[in-house]
Amino acid sequence: MAAPESFSLRPVDSEPVWFARPRPDPRPPLTSPASYDVVVVGGGLTGLLTALLVARAGRSVAVLEARRIGDGTSGHTTGKVSLLQGTKLSRVLQSNPPSVARLYVEAGREGQAWLRHYCEHRGVTAEERHATTYATTRPGMVRARAELAAGKVAGLDVAWTDHTELPYDVLGAVRLDGQFQVHAMELLAALLADVEAEGGTVFEESRVVDVDRGASRVTVRTDRATVDADAVVLATNQPIMDRGAFFARLKPQRSYAAAISSTWLPRGMHLSSDRQVRSLRSVRATDGEELLMIGGSGHVTGRSSPSKRLDELLTWAQETFPGGELRHVWSAQDQSPVTGLPYVGPLLPGDHRVQVATGFDKWGFSTAPAAALLLAADLLDGRPPAWGRSMRSWTPREALAGGRAALFNAEVGCHLAYGYASKPFRKDDAPTCTHLGGVLSWNPTEQSWDCPLHGSRFAPDGEVLEGPATKRLS
């Protein structure tokens, strides 16, 4: 990734800061038929947490990861674990009643408590922090005030402050104490080890291409072999199966992050409510040096210039924190749901053999623990927690978000039509997505082909980088 020349540079690592820590040794791919009680597709935080809970209950479980553990969204996170999530609760209340927003907060609270206990027990670094949603502009102030009201309605112990630790002018902020931040790869490595210690099996470089629901068992097909199971969990950022049409209820978002040396380091976790979102936290590098992590400049995948967005972020960092050195730059992809709430549960109504977990809206580390607890309750025939109603994959509340869903899909239709109309005039021979045929955009910053419809991404050689596509470019 390119950076403005005025930034003080030494060799920049274009991988997340988390990857400076030695990653777990590669696990072998699935190469022969196998059978398990549960198969989890996706080796990110949700997948590993779910596999661990199922394995602890004595069920046989396999995790199928298309690439390496950490190569997806969980390895490209900012690692914040917070119940104050920017302006999310305000958006949740646009499509959901207050009772559901309170259940969502309760889900996050229980998941957060589980993860905090796990980190303490396993010696995984979990640093106590306060969180803020802050404003530097008048429109941002309106959104921050709305989030304060939404937080109180939802049962958060939030408070307004006119003063923050930030080294630039702030009009005000919502504050929530008692949150924490983690080191992403340290946590994923601990979960991987524990899944295997409990008898689970993890396969890497095993891309799932199809899932067949038989009369009694479910067959999962990878690019090398098949495996059957009583139940399957699709924990793949966006579900790879078109059944259920989750791709029509999600908007794929890319965002950018960097780690820089800085004379100023925050003691809290901060996220702006302004149009131009900025995220800040501290992070300790492998050599012990504490760095400043910044993030933001998000956009819908395939519908903007990644280089322009990244340069905006790095230019802001250089102007706001002059004299620093850029150490790491990376990007991430996540899914924004039309209801504002995650989708966790059956892929199709009434069929609990194939489950999904998606729509974490850039707050996966805060929401994945609750999602895993809810999935485990279903898979183990337990009693689902009451707060699970706020995260269910199929609810009558979808009707309240019908307008947003229609807008999402109208935008998709426009980009589909524009792609084919402009194709004859493009200098490059743009390929089409193997999911639903959208004309791909070349992303020179990340050297990938990106789909403006539903966010599938492909490497230059055609390999799938992000779903919902499962087939490589021909």
Residue 223: is its pLDDT beyond 70? yes
Q: What are the pLDDT digits (tens) for 104-162?
A: 999 999 999 999 999 999 999 999 999 999 999 999 999 999 999 999 999 999 999 99
Residue 402: predicted pLDDT: 56
User: How does pLDDT run across 261-315, given as a tens digit for each residue?
Assistant: 999 999 999 999 999 999 999 999 877 889 999 999 989 998 888 889 999 999 9
pLDDT computed for residue 9 by the predictor: 37
Tokens read off for 324: 């620093």
Q: What is the pLDDT of residue 14?
A: 79
Query: Maximum Cα–Cα distance for the chain, whole Å?
Result: 64
Q: Locate 83 and state its tokens.
A: 């119940």
CA distances to 16, 241, 249, 347, 361 from 238, in Å: 21, 9, 10, 12, 11
Confidence of residue 439 (pLDDT cuts 50, 70, 90): confident
Closest CA to 136 of 316, 14, 4, 283: 316
Q: Is the pLDDT of residue 406 over 70?
A: no
For residue 239, say if its preceding peptide bond is cis, omega within 30 degrees of 0: no
The two three-digit tokens of residue 30, written as one number: 């699935």
User: Of 49-63, 262-276, 438-452, which gets the smallest average pLDDT?
Assistant: 438-452
State the residue for tokens 């895993």.
372
Residues 363 and 85 sit within 8 Å (Cβ to Cβ): yes
Instruction: Give me the torsion for CA of 327, 280, 468, 374, rounded to 10°.
Output: 130
Is the confidence at residue 389, as pLDDT, over 80? yes
Which of helix, strand or coil describes residue 108?
helix
8 A C-beta contact, residue 209 and residue 15: no
Q: What is d(CA 78, CA 86) in angstroms, rounded to the nearest whole number?
A: 13
Q: pLDDT: is 400 or 261 the higher one?
A: 261
The two three-digit tokens of residue 443, written as one number: 């992303």
Q: Which residues have a Cβ under 8 Å from the Cβ of 15 and sit 6 or more positions away?
A: 328, 330
CA–CA dist 74, 64 (Å, integer): 15
* H or E stretch at 294: strand 290-300
pLDDT at 382: 84
Q: Give the side-chain half-sphere CA count within 13 A for 313.
A: 29
Give this prediction's pTM: 0.91
Q: Rounded CA gap, 441 and 123, in Å? A: 43
Single out the residue of 276, 301, 246 nearest to residue 468, CA to CA.
246
**Poorest-pLDDT segment among 43-57, 113-127, 274-288, 412-426:** 412-426
